Chain A
Amino acid sequence: MFRDLWLRMRALFRRRSVETELDDELRFHLERQVEKYVKGGLSREEATRRARMEFGGVEQVKEEYRDARGVSPIETLTRDVRYGLRTLRSNPGFSVVAILTLALGIGANTAIFSVIDSVLLRPLPYADPASLVMVWESNSQQANPHNTVSPPDFLDWDSRNSVFSGMAGLFDQRTNLTGNGAPQEVALQDVTANFFAVLGVNPVLGAGFSAENGQPGHDDVVILSHGFWKEHFAGDSSIIGKTVTLNGHPLIVVGVAPQGFDWFIKDSSLTGAKPQMWTPWIIPKTFHDRKNVGRFMTVVARLKPGATVQQARVQMNTIAAQIAQEYPDFNGNWGANVVPVREQISGDLRPALWILFGAVGFVLLVACANVSSLLLARAAAREREVAIRTAVGASRWRIAFQLLTESVLLAVIGGSIGVGLAVWGTNALLAASPRNLLDLRSVSIDMRILSFAAGSTLLAGLIFGFLPSFISAHASVAETLKEGGRGSSAGKGRGMARSAFVVLQMCLALVLLAGSGLLIRSFIRLVGVDPGFDSSHLLTFKVTLPGLKYGTDAKCQAFFRELLPRLSHLPGVRSVTMNSFPPFSGLGAATGVRLLSQPPRSLKDLPVAEVRVVGPSYFSTMGIPLRAGRTFSEQELAEARHVAIINQGFVDKYLSGVNPLGQKAVIYMKSNEDSENTPSEIIGVVGDVRQMGLDTPGEPTVYWPHPELVYSGMTILVRTSNDPLGLVSAARNELQQMDPEQPMAAVATMGQLLGDSLARSRFTMLLLAIFAAIALTLASIGIYGVIAYGVTQRTQEFGIRIALGAEGRDVLRLVLGQGTRLVLLGIGLGVVLALTLGRFLSTLLYGISPTDPLTFGAVALLLALVALVACYVPARRATRVDLIETLRYE
């Protein structure tokens, strides 16, 4: 038992000496046999010859000896690896092509997987994230399923449900931080005091919010984000208990959130930025009355242990229906919508990522088919080697295993380079993806990604190596040696397999081309959409006046009325205006509008319109056309005269066939009470603007001049003659001459905002186009290889045909015919597959059907052309065959 083990170990670790001993022993045997024959009277040569002959296959003896010794598997593997490396080195051309092909395939897969992993798979930085859900309101009359929540609804949900162990509410705002260097605007979340407890997140420093912080008089505390603490307080651990000044209020720091923790929900963020700090929010008593407050909160809840999302949905629907009955004016048509947090956060990137992952899988398959094909071609050249090894006693299994080892070796080398490519590719991916699309920090290559790469490498090696080694190992030895390595049955099997690979590559390449073709067409349509205003040469930045300093409407109004003319006098500025929620900021406010000319209806059935508050010469600065009536007068921009301008969409939806000018409308923006709302007179109609993005048509909109509803935070829009960013410092200078403590936030050009709104489409399109290009290249190399090989095989035939009078044309037709059959078959199958898969793409398409015939026709034509050019090159060679040469070749 121990002896057996010792022999095995010795054989394994002292391979070389064991091998040498075996050689010595066999040599000794041979020598003794020769001596015997010499003694018997034979010449030394004759004796040696006979002994050799009797001895049989040395390889076979060694092989069987090794089997008997019992360490074969591991030892065989190391030997095969050495042999494989040697073979790869001796065929550098083949090896380089195969390795690069695989590196591309595996690298692209790994890069996409690293993004998928961080966005869709990696656990979120909250305790038991699977039991966290968002609860939204949703109106059956509107498209948005993720409407923010009104405080009274939140309070009723919280008190009536029995499926949640806790429910927290919050809203984002920007606030001015002073007393710590230059004044700056920070993104802040006002959260109910239980927010961190519901998420199950404990501060790394300090005690965090206590229940007491949710009581009036005890809420002057703040928790800092890890990043903010590091950046602005240099990670000072004595920060707890110190104060920071926000909007003039001193707040005591009671905690620092863990690294990587944030809470950013795109659908409900009012700032469009990740929070840098959190303060407790006590819902004011007046907000308990539905008359006084609108919908603006984000709500997150934790399921009780054992409760399911489905149960929560059922119960929340019931509760929402009860509330709708109790308050038909405010809650009619409103329901509740429960969404798991993971689903919410990955949001609209999810379908795009899975599609990219599928596409990149196809690229890897094409790469595998290509390498398989290459291996088959090389196997033909190695047929004699294999036959001889079989003849001297290597078993079929041994040969198949040896060939498979070479494949896996190729895959491992390709895979390692692929991981390198993936690291580079991931960085390029993140650099190419504009802000807020991907979370830059969280994507990285780690053990999970490396295991994925290793797994796909091994799988790829086995996939592309299996068929070639199987066919080669089952070649008939006698036939191969007899036929001189040409036209054997294995050769035919290989020919079939290579043709099949070409068809497969063509098919997959067509699917990818069709997908990227559709996305490109869709993107061109999207970019061609008129946003409804001129987005060039427009600088935007936000100014939010703190309540403590500018507490009254008059002060806020006065500030902006002074700021705008100052800016318009700067050199290079053509005009200046402002908007509460500018286009492409992703923000907006909407409310019910009652037209006095129409019969009274309950609040819930009122027309709904977005309300945007604007500054002087807004429409001329933005380039929005006036369709009817007039724009705001100087008086109307100075004080509330109860006037409004509506857009064409409003007219079409609510006032079609009626003259809108002179109509009076109650816009329930400040409160839901008629007594607090003076009706506004409609004085003009302007063109529609695609506020939320090019793919979303403009909603019915009401424009108010600033005095009608004095927001303290406004986005300034500066129309410039040259590069808008060149004006930033001059504008900041003007702002801080008025108030040195006033920061300038969210500086961007309208072109950048527009680009951001197209980011997802561009990103998906770009990646899919790259994948399709890779697939097209690989597939062309694939078909080129097959046709070129076929031509070499049939050189003699072509030579004879030409000698007998065939024209070069005829030979060309013959070869191209073979290629065309494969290409057409592949394209046909590809079209069927692409049509089947097209529906997955439909969510990403704008203004184009996933079965768009033009796109399919164009990509099929493109693929056919490229493939035929790849066939033409070797076919051309076939026509130049010289008979004499051919016969000599034989």
Chain B
Amino acid sequence: MPRIDLPQGTLDLLILRTLALEPQHGWAISERIQQISSDVLRVQQGSLYPALHRLERRGWIKARWGTSENNRRAKFYELTKTGRRQLEVEKDAWDKLTAAVAQVLGTA
């Protein structure tokens, strides 16, 4: 199964995007990313939790303890207002970047 290492900064974008749908706990976030990317993108726990707490510290997401789908205590993360704005900004930047990269690759 092909795996791709995530470029720097991409993980933040993916997390924000995933949380834009609904609040999730850490495991669900990594599962969701894996599912949607058809198993191409896998998020290592070693990067996921530091990223989550980095985002929390920047105030883009906030955490609260809740009950998981299997009735266990779990920590849920949700997007804040600034987080939502930040998602737009990052998504724009990403689109521009990928378009530009594609263009270069297409013509060269």
Contact = CB atoms under 8 A, between A and B. Distances in A.
A7 interface: yes
Contacts of B26: 25, 28-29
Interface residues of B, number: 25
B53 A28 contact: no
Contact of B53 (A55, A57, A60, A68): A68
Binding site of A, secondary structure by majority: helix, strand, loop or mixed? helix
Given A33-B27, A60-B46, A64-B50, A7 B56 contact: yes
B25 A28 contact: yes
A28 B75 contact: yes
A25 B49 CA distance: 9
Contacts of A69: 53, 57
Contacts of B57: 3-4, 7, 68-70
A268 to B, nearest CB: 73
A24 B68 CA distance: 13
B3 interface: no
Contacts of A25: 25-26, 49, 74-75
Which of B47, B49, B72 is most buried by chain A, counting CB atoms within 10 A of its CB?
B49
A67 interface: yes
B65 to A, nearest CB: 8
Given A4-B57, A21-B75, A28-B73, A68 B27 contact: no
A61 interface: yes
Contact of B50 (A21, A33, A61): A61
A809 interface: no
A533 to B, nearest CB: 87
Nearest to A63: B50
A7 to B, nearest CB: 6
Interface in A14-44: 21-22, 24-26, 28-29, 31-33, 35-36
A697 interface: no
A260 interface: no
Nearest to A33: B27
Contacts of A26: 45, 49
Binding site of B, secondary structure by majority: helix, strand, loop or mixed? helix
A69 B50 CA distance: 8
Contact of A24 (B44, B47, B58, B73): B73
Contacts of A287: none
B85 interface: no
Interface in B67-104: 68, 70, 72-75
Interface string B26-51: 11100100000000000011110111
Nearest to A7: B57
Contacts of A36: 31
A216 interface: no
A35 B31 CA distance: 13
A56 interface: yes
A65 interface: yes
A32 B74 CA distance: 11
A56 B44 contact: yes
A569 to B, nearest CB: 99
A4 B74 contact: no
A68 B74 CA distance: 20
A29 B72 CA distance: 11
B56 A61 contact: no
A3 B50 contact: no
B51 to A, nearest CB: 7
A52 to B, nearest CB: 11
Contact of B49 (A4, A7, A24, A65): A65
Contacts of A31: 72
A25 B28 CA distance: 12
Contacts of B49: 22, 25-26, 61, 64-65, 68
B45 A55 contact: yes
B50 A28 contact: no
Contacts of B45: 26, 29, 54-56, 61
Contact of B51 (A32, A33, A55, A68): A68
A22 B45 CA distance: 13
B51 A28 contact: no
Nearest to A4: B57
A6 to B, nearest CB: 10
Given A3-B59, A25-B75, A32 B27 contact: yes
Contact of A28 (B46, B58, B59, B74): B74
Contacts of B44: 54, 56
Contacts of A56: 44-46
Interface in B1-38: 25-28, 31
A28 B68 contact: yes
Contacts of A55: 45
A799 B47 CA distance: 51
Contacts of B70: 32, 35
Interface in A57-78: 57, 60-61, 64-65, 67-70
Contacts of A1: 59
Contacts of A57: 46
Contacts of A32: 27-28, 68, 70
B89 to A, nearest CB: 19
Contacts of A3: 57, 59, 62
Interface string A765-782: 000000000000000000
Which of B28, B47, B50, B56 is most buried by chain A, counting CB atoms within 10 A of its CB?
B50
Contacts of B50: 61, 64-65, 67-68
Contact of A65 (B53, B73, B74, B75): B53
A7 B74 CA distance: 19
Contacts of B68: 28, 32
A1 to B, nearest CB: 8
Which of A29, A33, A61 is most buried by chain B, counting CB atoms within 10 A of its CB?
A29
B59 A4 contact: yes
B27 A29 contact: yes
Nearest to A35: B70
Which of A32, A64, A67 is most buried by chain B, counting CB atoms within 10 A of its CB?
A32
A783 B56 CA distance: 55
A3 B56 CA distance: 9
Given A1-B59, A4-B58, A22-B49, 17 more contacts: A3-B62, A4-B57, A25-B25, A25-B75, A26-B49, A28-B25, A28-B74, A29-B45, A32-B28, A54-B44, A56-B45, A61-B45, A61-B46, A64-B50, A65-B49, A67-B50, A68-B51
6 contacts: A7-B57, A35-B70, A36-B31, A60-B46, A68-B54, A68-B57
Interface of A: 1, 3-4, 7, 21-22, 24-26, 28-29, 31-33, 35-36, 54-57, 60-61, 64-65, 67-70
**Closest CB pairs A-B (n = 10):** A68-B50, A32-B27, A64-B50, A68-B53, A68-B54, A29-B27, A56-B46, A25-B75, A3-B59, A61-B46
